[in-house]
Amino acid sequence: MDKDRKLLIAGNWKMNKTVAEGLDLVQELVREVNQVKEIDIVVCPPFTALSEVSKKIIESNIRLGAQNMSEHTGGAYTGEIAAEMLKEFLVRYVILGHSERRQYQEESDSLISKKALTAHAASIKPIICVGETLEQRESDVTKDVIGSQIRGSLAGLTSEQMLETVIAYEPVWAIGTGKTASSEQAQEVHHFIRTVLSELHGDTIAKQVRIQYGGSVKPGNARELMSQPDIDGALVGGASLDAKNFSEIVLNSI
């Protein structure tokens, strides 16, 4: 597909896959997508599988991401994982502020912005998730919600850091539900996000930032979504747990 921005397709395994299962998945994935140069491909296993998966993909075109990290750099924070610990496994990306963490761990925009700054300090690229609930969409406040999540979660980032940041627009009502936003609905919000980025960092920066779509992306709808002018990749949950589905999403998006 002909776009200035290189597509980024990331698989968010969530709380799935033992080490052995994760290794099987990436082994097949490496076989299927090894020739792909046009798209950046990332897998985000649970923390427990990062080390082994990292070794398996080290010589491939697949990069490693984590699903979360602490805003702190180290110390007495039981159960937390620091950016430097992720770097040991060559983690290049970290998903921040996924709607499940916003909902179940009550993560706020200001916490997410702190995490983003910590990630950048360690040269890990944050994938910052935003999205409205069904109730918010139906009450016609989608743009208010997205605008405030974007401004809050990106607070304090320099323009240089912005260029190394990925945004994922994931309408909460489309996650794991089988309901995808139509490509027009998604494009409208992606365009809006780019407008907000342009207000924050200017046009030149805004045009270079990658904005992924997430929410029931499947092999069958990937091409149509990726053909939208402001959609620059996908954050894939359910379909990333199966090597065939995930690789088809990648191959159909070229």
Residue ranges that bind ligand PGA, judged by CB under 6 A: 12, 170, 175-176, 214-217, 235-239
Shortest CB 44 distance to ligand PGA, Å: 9
Is 248 labeled as catalytic in the residue annotation?
Answer: no
User: Which residue has the closest beta carbon to ligand PGA?
Assistant: 237
Shortest CB 90 distance to ligand PGA, Å: 22
Shortest CB 138 distance to ligand PGA, Å: 19
**Residues 71, 107, 170, 248: which is the catalytic one?**
170
Shorter beta-carbon distance to ligand PGA: residue 25 or 206: 25
| DSSP string covering 64-115 | EEES---SSSSSS-TT---HHHHHTTTEEEEEES-HHHHHHS---HHHHHHH
* CB-based contact 97:129 (threshold 8 Å): yes
Shorter beta-carbon distance to ligand PGA: residue 233 or 238: 238
Q: Map residue 176 onto helix, strand or coil.
A: coil
- What span, in angstroms and rounded, lies between the C-alpha atoms of 190 and 253? 18
**Residues 98, 120, 190, 201: which is the catalytic one?**
98
Shorter beta-carbon distance to ligand PGA: residue 157 or 235: 235
Burial class (CB in 10 A: 0-12, 13-18, 19+), 19: middle
Is 98 labeled as catalytic in the residue annotation?
Answer: yes
In eight-state DSSP terms, residue 4 is S
* Tokens of residue 232, six digits: 């620059």
- What span, in angstroms and rounded, lies between the C-alpha atoms of 139 and 118? 35
In eight-state DSSP terms, residue 165 is -
Shorter beta-carbon distance to ligand PGA: residue 91 or 129: 129
Shortest CB 131 distance to ligand PGA, Å: 9
Residues annotated as part of the active site: 98, 170
